[in-house]
């Protein structure tokens, strides 16, 4: 069986669909689209939410194909969460696009790059660092906002911490300079 890397696979995530999943819980009609990466090129997928009796589905249409993904709601201490269900029954936050089908990482046999790298060799160490940097860039791109009440949001602070550990000093310094500028401005007004 061939293995693919998670880092190279496009995923729909509950994070990406957060607002629409909230609407789905309120049974509001939804029509959205996603920029996806399919067959190594960017394309667009349409999606809608389908209510069928007890069940709620996310229906994704792309490349003349349609896929129905069962959604399930779960009560957590801080509110209700909606999860995506793979065809295998696995409940997850991410379904990966591979060979034209969205499925969980187990069904697609996906692995994280960093887990397959031997960090003890010099080459492995380099690859690991590169991979950490790639992760950091992806993390930054998926972040909604970096400010919360004129302060850096918690995800952004965590991200900066990772930058520091990965040796991305410039990003940390830029962020520090920016927050200093904002604080100075706030003191003036
Ligand atoms: Zn699965």
In this prediction, residue 179 carries a pLDDT of 67
Task: Give the span between the Cα atoms of 78 and 80, in whole angstroms.
Answer: 7
From residue 107, alpha-carbon distances to 4, 12, 111, 174 in Å are: 11, 15, 11, 41
101 C-alpha vs ligand 1 centroid, how far in Å? 11
3-state secondary structure of 179: helix
pLDDT in tens, 111-145: 776 665 666 777 767 677 777 777 777 777 777 67
95 C-alpha vs ligand 1 centroid, how far in Å? 8
- The shares of helix, strand and coil residues in the chain, as percent rounded to the nearest 5, are 35, 35, 30
3-state secondary structure of 3: coil
Which residues fall inside 5 Å of ion ligand 1, going by CB?
86, 88, 90, 103-104, 107
Looking at the DSSP bridge assignments, the partners of residue 91 are: 85
91 C-alpha vs ligand 1 centroid, how far in Å? 8
109 C-alpha vs ligand 1 centroid, how far in Å? 9
Size of the chain, expressed as the number of residues it contains: 189
Instruction: Report which of 76, 103, 73 is spatially closest to residue 88, judged by C-alpha positions.
Output: 103
182 C-alpha vs ligand 1 centroid, how far in Å? 46
Per-residue pLDDT band for 1 (boundaries 50, 70, 90) equals very low
pLDDT in tens, 28-50: 889 888 888 777 677 888 999 99
Task: Give the span between the Cα atoms of 156 and 139, in whole angstroms.
Answer: 9
Residue 134 CB coordination number (10 Å): 14
89 C-alpha vs ligand 1 centroid, how far in Å? 6
18 C-alpha vs ligand 1 centroid, how far in Å? 21
């Amino acid at each position: 069986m061939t293995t693919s890397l998670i880092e190279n696979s496009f995923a729909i995530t509950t994070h990406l669909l957060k607002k629409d999943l909230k609407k789905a819980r309120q049974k509001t009609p939804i029509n959205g689209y996603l920029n996806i990466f399919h067959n190594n090129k960017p394309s667009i997928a349409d999606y809608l939410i389908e209510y069928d009796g007890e069940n709620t589905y996310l229906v994704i249409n792309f490349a003349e194909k349609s896929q129905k993904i069962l959604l399930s709601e779960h009560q957590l201490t801080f509110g209700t969460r909606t999860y995506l269900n793979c065809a295998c029954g696995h409940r997850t936050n991410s379904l990966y696009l591979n060979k034209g089908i969205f499925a969980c990482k187990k069904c697609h046999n996906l692995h994280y790059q960093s887990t397959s790298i031997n960090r003890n060799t010099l080459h492995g160490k380099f690859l690991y660092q590169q991979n950490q940097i790639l992760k950091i860039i992806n993390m930054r791109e998926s972040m909604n906002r970096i400010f919360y009440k004129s302060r850096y949001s918690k995800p952004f602070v965590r991200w900066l911490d990772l930058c520091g550990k990965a040796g991305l000093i410039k990003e940390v310094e830029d962020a520090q300079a920016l927050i200093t500028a904002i604080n100075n401005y706030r003191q003036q007004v």
